[in-house]
Amino acid sequence: MQKRYWIAIAALILVIGIVVGAAILPQGRLNSAAMAAPTPDSQARLITVSSQGSSSAAPDLATINIGVETQGDNAVTVSLDNAKKMQAVINVVKNVGITDKDIQTSNYNIYIERPSEPRPTIAPQSGAPQTTTTPQTEVIYHVNNTVSVRVRNLKNLGKIMEAVVGAGANNIYGINFSLSDTKTVESQARQAAMQAAQAKAEELARLAGVRLGAVQSVSEVPTTSPVPYAASAKLAVMDSPVQIPGGEVQYQVEVQVTYLMQ
């Protein structure tokens, strides 16, 4: 009787083990299959393109760097002379309609030109050393003062250039044209860049024998727009009227777009 009891217990344990194992095995296979199954992202085939777009517009803003340079053997005297001439330049700029907020000092420096030593040269016939130049014996002080002037009415550019030279300016370091509001022209350039990217991606898809799918990602690459016009010159005489063509300002946008291949 006791022996039959233990046989029954063993049989029961075996049945329970078979049932539990049968329940666990499919779940384990399911989990393994789920872990091994590739995700849609890992199967995705992509096309990535980069394209540029540009748009141009007539400028409505100009920035001029106007300089006054003076020199002499006394630093204080040269500085005062420079300040007087620069004030005259600023006054004529204001008379043309430029306000204080559009006038800013961009550079001011004083440097010394020290005495030079006599430099011997070789005489062409005798071969004996001789001094052919008179040495500089005094210290010369140079003062450079530059202001940046923003011009909002471009019709006044020529008038301003003529006036500042007449007032004592002897350096014009640059004229840069720009737009006061770039939103519209940048939006047009961005639209052109996206259209170019779409056309390029469609061509690549056709060459690869696939269909172009939806956009997966878009990013804009920072670019530096070219300066349309810049002038730099030392001015001694300027004829009137002065003509300063503004041309057009061009803005560029570059985008990188990734598409799905179908």
Pair 195, 174 in one domain: no
User: What share of the chain has pLDDT > 70, as a percent?
Assistant: 68
Q: Is residue 39 part of a domain?
A: no
CA dihedral 30, 31, 32, 37 (to 10 degrees): 90
> Can you tell me which residue has the tokens 């020290």?
114
> What is the spatial distance between Cα 198 and Cα 256, in angstroms, rounded to a whole number?
10
Is the residue at 116 inside a domain?
yes
Same domain as 202, residue 133: no
- The per-residue pLDDT for range 144-192, each reduced to its tens digit, is 999 999 999 998 998 999 999 999 999 998 889 999 999 999 999 999 9
Q: Residue 221 pLDDT more than 80? A: yes
Residues 162 and 215 in one domain: no
Nearest to 68 by CA among 167, 169, 147, 172: 169
Q: Does one domain contain both 113 and 151?
A: yes
Say whether both 85 and 166 belong to one domain. Answer: yes
Residue 18 lies in a domain: no
Going by pLDDT thresholds of 50, 70 and 90, the confidence category of residue 114 is: confident
Assess whether pLDDT exceeds 90 at residue 238: no
Please give the residue range of the domain that contains residue 213: 46-57+184-225+254-261
For residue 141, give the CATH number of its domain. Answer: 3.30.70.2970
What letter does residue 225 receive in the DSSP assignment? P
Residues 117 and 154 placed together within one structural domain of the fold: yes
Residue 205: what are its φ and ψ, rounded to 5°?
Answer: -65, -40
Side chain identity at residue 8, one-letter code? A
Note whether 139 and 212 are same-domain residues. no
Burial 46-68 (b: 16+ CB within 10 A, else e): ebebebebbbeeebbbbbbbbbb
In terms of domains, do 189 and 165 share one? Answer: no
The token duo for 173 is: 């370091």
Tell me, yes or no, whether 172 and 70 share the same domain. yes
Average predicted confidence (pLDDT) for the chain? 80
Strands (E), the chain: 46-57, 61-72, 103-113, 120-122, 129-131, 140-151, 171-178, 212-221, 233-234, 249-261
Whether 69 and 167 share a structural domain? yes
pLDDT at 148: 96
Would you say residue 35 has pLDDT above 50?
A: no
Question: How many domains, the chain?
Answer: 2
Look at the pTM and tell me if it is higher than 0.85.
Answer: no
Residue 10 lies in a domain: no
Which value, to the nearest 10 degrees, does the dihedral of the CA atoms of residues 95, 101, 103, 105 take?
Answer: 150
Contact of 161 with 172, CB cutoff 8 Å = yes
pLDDT at 119 over 80: no
- For residue 83, being part of any structural domain is answered with yes
